[in-house]
Amino acid sequence: MIQFEDVVIKYGDFTAMHDFTMVINEGEFFTLLGPSGCGKTTILRSLAGFVDVSSGAIKVNGQIINDVPTEKRNIGIVFQSYALFPTMNVYDNIAFGLKVKKLGKNEIRDLVLEITRKVELGEEQLYKNVSELSGGQQQRVAIARAMILKPGILCLDEPLSNLDAKLRGQLRHELKILQRDLGITTIYVTHDQEEALTLSDRIAVFNKGHLEQVGTPFEIYNESNSSFVCDFIGDINTCTGRTIDSINGQSEKKFDRDKPAYLRIERILTGTANPGPKYVKLRGSVIDREYNGIFTKYFYDVDGEILKGLERNIGAEPGAVGDAVDLFINPEDIKQF
């Protein structure tokens, strides 16, 4: 178990992380999510011992590690930039940590082959120079190099962000399976909300050095506890003024018309019949749409306000620009803070 207790991290006069408290459980896949500059890498650095905490305590299995030197923390790190040794071949990159530990040649060889298989790197890659590998292969080497030391904690700092979308999706899935098989406590850093939702047991969302929310992907998405989390995770409608009046007028709800009201785009239903007694109806017209294969995202003009909706593409195209549509909304799905 990893505990951050009232931790503050500063670079000189600048406070990169304000007082935060957070627990990461044994074997958990825990993601730090937030926009660029919010402090994700800073937290990893503090855990690994590359930056000191200004106040508070970091504990691993109940022991305060604030003053434990980096090399004694038993933490593996994979950086966004791979940070492989460019003059060494793949084998030597992966074996590096074991050589430092002065393990025997044969033992090192067995362990390198074992981890190479786990990260699905072909044996024929082992004697290539790292510069001859693709981005995805280099990333596998970086993961193998960290994993081979059997760290108690694995930290991955945006490991997939340099890869193309398809490979990112594939490696993401493999990483999750590997992590599950090894049961290693993993802290994963990303600013990609989809990656966070698909991979994590739990997610911590950060905003400008503040911890906004910790929860399961379901909780973060469906029970966002602030405007920031609502906006940052997924696609969302921000309803204002007249739309709020119309919803208030048709329901028992009394949303504040002067504050944004949030509604997930897939919660807007369309059709000819009201889907249920709780739903209110808004009249809209299609002003634009984005086809993405499985879904089409629609942009509706509702009395001057633009709302977005999502339709599954099953067979016929659901609508065209200019079509008038009835939009059904359950006021229970709306959040205001």
Count CB atoms within 10 A of the CB of residue 63.
9
Q: Which two tokens stand for residue 290?
A: 């984005």
Closer by beta carbon to Mg ion, 50 or else 127: 50
140 near 119, Cβ under 8 Å? yes
Closer by beta carbon to Mg ion, 210 or else 297: 210
Binding characters for Mg ion, 306-335, by CB under 5 A (x = yes): ------------------------------
Contact partner, 36, from ligand ATP, Mg ion, none, Cβ < 5-8 Å per class: ligand ATP
Binding characters for ligand ATP, 137-176, by CB under 6 A (x = yes): ----------------------------------------
Residue 83's contacts (CB-CB under 8 Å, 6 or more residues apart) are 142
Least distance in Å: CB of 43 to ligand ATP?
Answer: 7
Distances (CA, A) of 153 to 44, 187, 212: 11, 8, 24
Q: Residue 41, interface with Mg ion (CB under 5 A)?
A: yes
Q: Which of 6, 11, 99, 123 binds ligand ATP (CB under 6 A)?
A: 11
Q: Are strands 305-312 and 295-302 parallel, antiparallel or unpaired?
A: antiparallel
28 near 201, Cβ under 8 Å? yes
Quick one: which segment of 22-30, 31-39, 163-171, 301-309 binds ligand ATP (CB under 6 A)? Answer: 31-39
- Residue 168, φ and ψ in degrees, nearest 5: -60, -45
Q: Residue 42, interface with ligand ATP (CB under 6 A)?
A: yes
Q: What dihedral do alpha carbons 241, 243, 244, 250 form, nearest 10°?
A: 140
Quick one: which segment of 34-42, 89-97, 98-106, 166-174 binds ligand ATP (CB under 6 A)? Answer: 34-42
| Beta bridge partners of residue 152, listed in sequence order | none
State which of positions 183-212 bind ligand ATP (CB under 6 A).
191
Q: Which two tokens stand for residue 218?
A: 């379901």
Least distance in Å: CB of 226 to ligand ATP?
Answer: 18
Closer by beta carbon to ligand ATP, 75 or else 282: 75
Residue 180 CA to residue 55 CA, distance in Å, equals 33
161: nearest Cα among 202, 134, 189: 189
Residue 105 CA to residue 44 CA, distance in Å, equals 32
Residue 3 CA to residue 147 CA, distance in Å, equals 22
For CA atoms 101, 105, 107, 112, the dihedral sign is: positive
Closer by beta carbon to Mg ion, 47 or else 327: 47
Contact partner, 122, from Mg ion, ligand ATP, none, Cβ < 5-8 Å per class: none
Q: Residue 31, interface with Mg ion (CB under 5 A)?
A: no
Count the residues of the shown chain that bind Mg ion, applying the rule CB under 5 A: 1
Quick one: which segment of 32-40, 99-107, 224-232, 250-258 binds ligand ATP (CB under 6 A)? Answer: 32-40
Q: Which of 25, 26, 37, 194 binds ligand ATP (CB under 6 A)?
A: 37
267 near 330, Cβ under 8 Å? yes
- Positions touching ligand ATP (CB under 6 A) are 11, 14, 16, 34, 36-42, 191
- Positions touching Mg ion (CB under 5 A) are 41
